Chains A and B, each alone.
Chain A
Amino acid sequence: MEFSKLQMRDAFIEKLYKRAIKDKNIIFISNEFGSESLDKFRSDLPEQFINAGISEQNIISVAAGMAIQKKKVFVYSIASFITLRCFEQIKLDICAMNLPVTIIGVGTCYSYCVDGPSHHATEDISIMRSLSGMNIYSPADSNIAAGLVDVALNSRKPVYIRLDREKLPIFYSIKENINSGYKVLKEGKDICFISTGIMTHKAFEAVTDLEKFNFNIKIIDIYRLKPVHHIDIIKEIKNFKIVVTLEEHTLNGGLGSIISEILHDNNINIKLKRLGIKEELLYSYNLRNDNHKKNEIDKDSIIELIKNLNFL
């Protein structure tokens, strides 16, 4: 398994840099937040980089104003800050006016682990998907993250991209077609796993071990959480008796809820088990793997769950 040499944010920024040197209308606004790759962007393209300071509400408003003037704006910050602190600005300044601003939030869920709840984006999927017009991406590897640069540039809509901080294994080709919003990374027939972000990696770890117990499990990685086309998902899961969703995110309103809504709204009678962050464990300072164990979304817990499912 090849691991990415770059964090997702650096893969994204390096790709964006290549576009920005040819397009002066690309503007990158940082919330006093950096990265290795950003240093080059800042020094080579000073007219296209803005450090707006620690002012999330203003950053979103400024981004909206620049987008009104036809700039292609990217806002960059820690995911928890740039979704919660300025949610009204995202709703009214960007979504209500349908402006093509891309928000890059770094640090999905427990990425910042011991830094604690102030830095944990544990509910960003829930709140951002409540916004009409918002498109949400949650890549599982840095190749998809880099590919989202062109998706964002070609989109005429608000976009939120949530990025993990780890250098995760690579699943996707650098030339992957990112239009469908999901990919079946492994075929299977007994159970269907639907996962996003780092949990797609956890899913693979668990499924690899579960094969020794003769479980044949399908894995679908969803990297576009909004919009999710019901027809596509139904086509992929309709022959299964059970679907398990895996997300490193609160169980209130995330991926599990998305799939639950699809099943219910389309009268699909499939059992659904949702794995994610339990509400009572949302605020913590634990190491990431310990958080996974406590929430029973680590590899061993997933294996135990599947072995004990009495449906087959």
Chain B
Amino acid sequence: MTDYKKKSKEIRRKIVEITSICGGHIASSFSYVDILVAIYYSGIFKHNPGKPDWQERDKFILSKGHGETALFTVLADLNYFPEAWLNEHYRRGNCYLGGHPDYKIPGVEITTGALGHGLGIASGIALASKKENEKNFHYVLMGDAECTEGSVWEAALFAAKHKLNNLIAIIDYNKIGSIDFIENFTSIAPFKDKWEAFGWEVMEIDGHNFKEIISALKYSKKREKSSPLAIIAHTVKGKGVSFIENDPTWHVKKLSTTDEIDKALSELK
């Protein structure tokens, strides 16, 4: 039985270590680590690190590609690729383990980085999958600020029309974009209402409560609805390290002093 809290602290500690050396969006990674741990360690999401191309696998797409550090850390932990890649090559400019996910990395389904692409691609995957009567599910992790991209809503309209109930959008609703709180620059709220208006079933959960996340994941596979599912996960940007939490300036900052790194790690014991 996985100790999810322990695993998520371990993942966050690793993210602190590597981003303090080579950069990466630490706050954007921290806000969805718990969701990622629930997906990859609960046994609900069907996958096989030894067979990244396994036909029957569920698919996970990180549409908010700038959160790649968390995904790469989990994939390395699960042996999709050697940890040495993460320790020695990530963001060093000498391999595909760069600043955003690339489809050539074992365990990564598609190349992302420009926001707003993941839901459309996942819709295509889900539609083709349905035509083949496949029984797998396709999860897309998006940012909330990402949902100001028009292409997200084009995909939302399409997915609902085509009854893609094998498609699940999980929105990391941390209320912060790159330079400001999202309420200050966009009228994204009421967020649930918008997804419902587009024909989706919507759940809202605490994105740091494993009981709620696991329950939502279980439901995503058992539900008897024809519509796609949006899981709005209320999260905290930078969750896990108090001085990073809920501060727009931490979208681009990295832990740079020994003092900061030590403080962060001490909070993640």
Interfacial residues, chain A to chain B (CB-CB below 8 A): 27, 47, 50, 52-53, 55, 57-58, 60-71, 88-89, 92-93, 96-97
Contacts and interface: CB of A to CB of B under 8 A. Distances in A.
A144 to B, nearest CB: 29
Contacts of B121: 61-62, 64-65, 68, 93
Contacts of A57: 116, 120, 150-151, 154
Interface string B211-248: 00000000000000000000000000000000000000
A50 B151 CA distance: 18
A89 B122 CA distance: 13
A71 B127 CA distance: 11
Nearest to A47: B131
> By CB atoms of chain A within 10 A, which of B111, B116, B120, B151 has the most?
B120
A249 B232 CA distance: 47
Contact of A69 (B103, B124, B150): B124
B123 A68 contact: no
B114 interface: yes
Given A64-B121, A93-B117, A97-B111, A69 B132 contact: yes
> Which of A27, A61, A63, A68 is packed against the most chain B CB atoms within 10 Å?
A61
Contacts of A68: 109-110, 121, 124-125, 128
A24 to B, nearest CB: 8
B157 A53 contact: yes
Given A58-B158, A61-B121, A61-B123, A69 B110 contact: no
Given A53-B157, A53-B158, A58 B120 contact: yes
B126 interface: yes
Top 7 closest pairs, chain A to chain B, by CB: A65-B124, A61-B120, A69-B128, A58-B154, A62-B124, A55-B154, A65-B125
B155 interface: yes
B117 A69 contact: no
Contacts of B154: 53, 55, 57-58
Given A61-B120, A92-B111, A66 B158 contact: no
B125 A55 contact: no
A89 B117 CA distance: 7
Given A55-B151, A65-B125, A92-B113, 14 more contacts: A57-B116, A57-B154, A58-B123, A58-B155, A58-B158, A60-B120, A61-B117, A61-B120, A61-B151, A62-B121, A62-B155, A66-B125, A89-B151, A93-B120
A62 B150 contact: no
Given A55-B157, A88-B114, A92-B111, A64 B124 contact: yes
Contact of B126 (A47, A53, A65, A96): A65
Nearest to A57: B151
A27 B131 CA distance: 11
A285 B192 CA distance: 45
A61 B154 CA distance: 10
